[in-house]
């Protein structure tokens, strides 16, 4: 009686393409629950592209006539979503039937929504990757050009959030550009998986109609979940951007005052008139969490699924689309921030202190023949003496230092020069001027090659 009482709630609008097995209508709440049209309609262009390719393959096998193929191809151009459409694939077939009648029932021959949606997602992702790559390249280019202009600016480098060694500001910028360049390489690796065409492979057993899959540009059957790879990629990319944002948030505080964000990427406080909040950077950090959540959520969906298709897998589209939208926006905001922020050079260089040259003090002894581990210990003892005297390391006298090691003499004064300290790191990847300068044309050449 309970189920009979529900029967009047079920929809009677339209015929669904899997209805032959079922004698009743679906509860409208269930229809809404299982529908994916709200988000997968964004893939309608890819769905039509794949459908046109498939119907041409059907014509080659004789399963549709030349005239039927032409009708189907023309009808597919008249796509329109209507209430009650479950997903983009059934919407296309329903609309096609409205225009050409019975021949529309042929164009799904031997094809499952499984291989259809896999094809749609790959076609859509291929275009999405191109867009994301262009935005990431624009961000890297902005960072590289900023590094070139501001190469003479020195600043503290930090480890464990403590002043570590002096570096060039450009060295910091290019470290984040390098991370993003690796993200682009990973995106290109995923593109290779995306370019494997699943169209015509059916639901599980294959296609029985001798479809020419080579004509569909099929290279191999892919068993990889490309959308999962994309969610991982989005998580990693935003990890890098979140780390950069965290640094800039700190550098923009009054305690640091290294940078100033423009008003275009800041907001004020509703209570405190003096506040200028780095909302753009804080939101970049939060969007990273959003994408991590999408990735982790979909992995939780996958973890207990049996082989082949299960309805839970439709959750991948919403996660994929949201990840794309999020990364798409974050890359643009990050580019805006990097291109417009102002650097307070005097504050950066004023934050340098002689204690950051303790490692250089150890290197000074190494150059006199002392093993590094012993030299490191001597420098540590010198730091202790300076702390005991409540003075900077550079204020220790030669006599103070000779208590630590007799190798110290008057030439130790050459250690207390920040530029000289930086210039000793001239190996590739170092912070010396020639090393940073060498990276800039390297990045420019790489960027140009990527754009081609």
Q: Give the active site residue among 8, 12, 160, 307.
A: 160
Choose among 123, 139, 120: nearest CA to 327.
Answer: 139
Q: CA 128, 131, 137: angle at the middle one, nearest 5?
A: 135
| Rounded CA separation 382/183 (Å) | 43
Write the secondary structure of 94-154 as one string of H (helix), E (strand) and C (coil): HHHHHHHCHHHHHCCCCCCHHHHHHHHHHHHHHHHHHHHHHHHHHHHHHHHHHHHHCCCCE
Look at residues 1, 29, 25 and name the one whose alpha carbon lies nearest to residue 15.
Answer: 25
Q: Which candidate in 7, 19, 215, 269 is catalytic? A: 269
- Give the residue from 262, 264, 239, 246 showing the smallest Cα distance to 327: 239
φ, ψ for residue 244 (rounded to 5)?
A: -65, -45
Whole-number Å distance between alpha carbons of 65 and 58: 9
Torsion of CA 100, 101, 103, 106, to 10 degrees: 120
Rounded-to-integer distance, Cα 190 and Cα 226, Å:
7
Question: Tokens for 210?
Answer: 């001798």
Cβ atoms of 378 and 359 closer than 8 Å = no
Identify the three-state secondary structure at position 291.
helix
Cα 380 to Cα 374, 384, 413, distances in angstroms = 10, 6, 18
Contact 52, 76 (CB under 8 A): yes
CB distance 76 to 51 below 8 Å: yes
> Which of helix, strand or coil describes residue 156?
strand
Closest CA to 451 of 136, 128, 137: 137
Q: Are 287 and 277 in contact (CB under 8 A)?
A: no
In the residue annotation, 108 being an active-site residue is answered as no
Closest CA to 382 of 365, 14, 368, 370: 365
**Can you list the pairs that 443-452 forms with residues at least 24 positions away whose Cβ atoms lie under 8 Å?**
443/140, 443/144, 443/174, 443/177, 443/181, 444/144, 446/181, 447/137, 447/140, 447/141, 447/144, 450/133, 450/137, 450/184, 451/137
Please indicate whether residue 89 is annotated as part of the active site: no
For the chain, percent helix, then strand, then coil, each to nearest 5?
65, 5, 30
Residues taking part in catalysis: 160, 269
């Amino acid at each position: 009686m309970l189920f009979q009482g529900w029967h009047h709630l079920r929809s009677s609008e339209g015929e669904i393409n899997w209805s032959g097995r079922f004698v009743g209508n679906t509860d409208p709440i269930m229809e809404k629950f299982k529908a994916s049209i709200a988000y997968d309609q964004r893939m309608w262009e890819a769905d039509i592209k794949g459908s046109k390719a498939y119907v041409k393959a059907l014509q080659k096998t004789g399963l549709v006539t030349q005239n039927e193929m032409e009708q189907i191809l023309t009808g597919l151009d008249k796509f329109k979503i209507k209430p009650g459409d479950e997903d983009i694939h059934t919407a296309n077939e329903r609309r096609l039937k409205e225009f050409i009648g019975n021949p529309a029932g042929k164009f799904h021959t031997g094809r499952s929504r499984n291989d259809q949606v896999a094809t749609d997602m790959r076609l859509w992702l291929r275009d999405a990757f191109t867009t994301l790559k262009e935005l990431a390249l624009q961000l890297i280019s902005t960072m590289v050009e900023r590094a070139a202009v501001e190469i003479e600016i020195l600043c503290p480098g930090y480890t464990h959030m403590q002043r570590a060694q002096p570096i060039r500001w450009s060295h910091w910028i290019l470290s984040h550009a390098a991370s993003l360049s690796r993200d682009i390489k990973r995106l290109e690796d995923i593109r290779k998986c995306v370019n494997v065409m699943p169209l015509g492979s059916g639901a599980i057993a294959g296609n029985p109609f001798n479809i020419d899959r080579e004509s569909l540009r099929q290279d191999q059957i892919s068993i990889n979940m490309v959308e999962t790879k994309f969610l991982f990629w989005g998580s990693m990319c935003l990890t890098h951007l979140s780390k950069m944002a965290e640094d800039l948030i700190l550098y923009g505080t009054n305690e640091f005052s290294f940078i100033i964000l423009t008003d275009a990427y800041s907001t004020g406080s509703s209570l405190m008139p003096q506040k200028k909040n780095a909302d753009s950077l804080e939101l970049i950090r939060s969007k990273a969490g959003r994408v991590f959540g999408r990735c982790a959520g979909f992995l939780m969906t996958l973890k207990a699924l049996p082989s082949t298709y299960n309805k839970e897998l439709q959750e991948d589209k919403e996660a994929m689309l949201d990840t794309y939208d999020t990364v798409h926006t974050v890359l643009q905001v990050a580019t805006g921030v990097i291109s417009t922020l102002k650097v307070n050079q005097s504050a950066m260089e004023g934050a340098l202190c002689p204690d950051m040259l303790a490692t250089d003090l150890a290197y000074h002894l190494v150059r006199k023949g002392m093993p590094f581990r012993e030299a490191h210990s001597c420098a540590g003892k010198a730091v202790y003496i300076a702390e005991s005297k409540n003075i900077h390391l550079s204020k220790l006298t030669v006599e103070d230092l000779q208590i630590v090691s007799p190798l110290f003499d008057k030439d130790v004064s050459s250690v207390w020069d920040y530029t000289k300290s930086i210039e000793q790191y001239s190996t590739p990847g170092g912070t010396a001027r020639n090393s940073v300068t060498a990276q800039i044309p390297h990045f420019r050449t790489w960027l140009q090659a990527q754009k081609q």
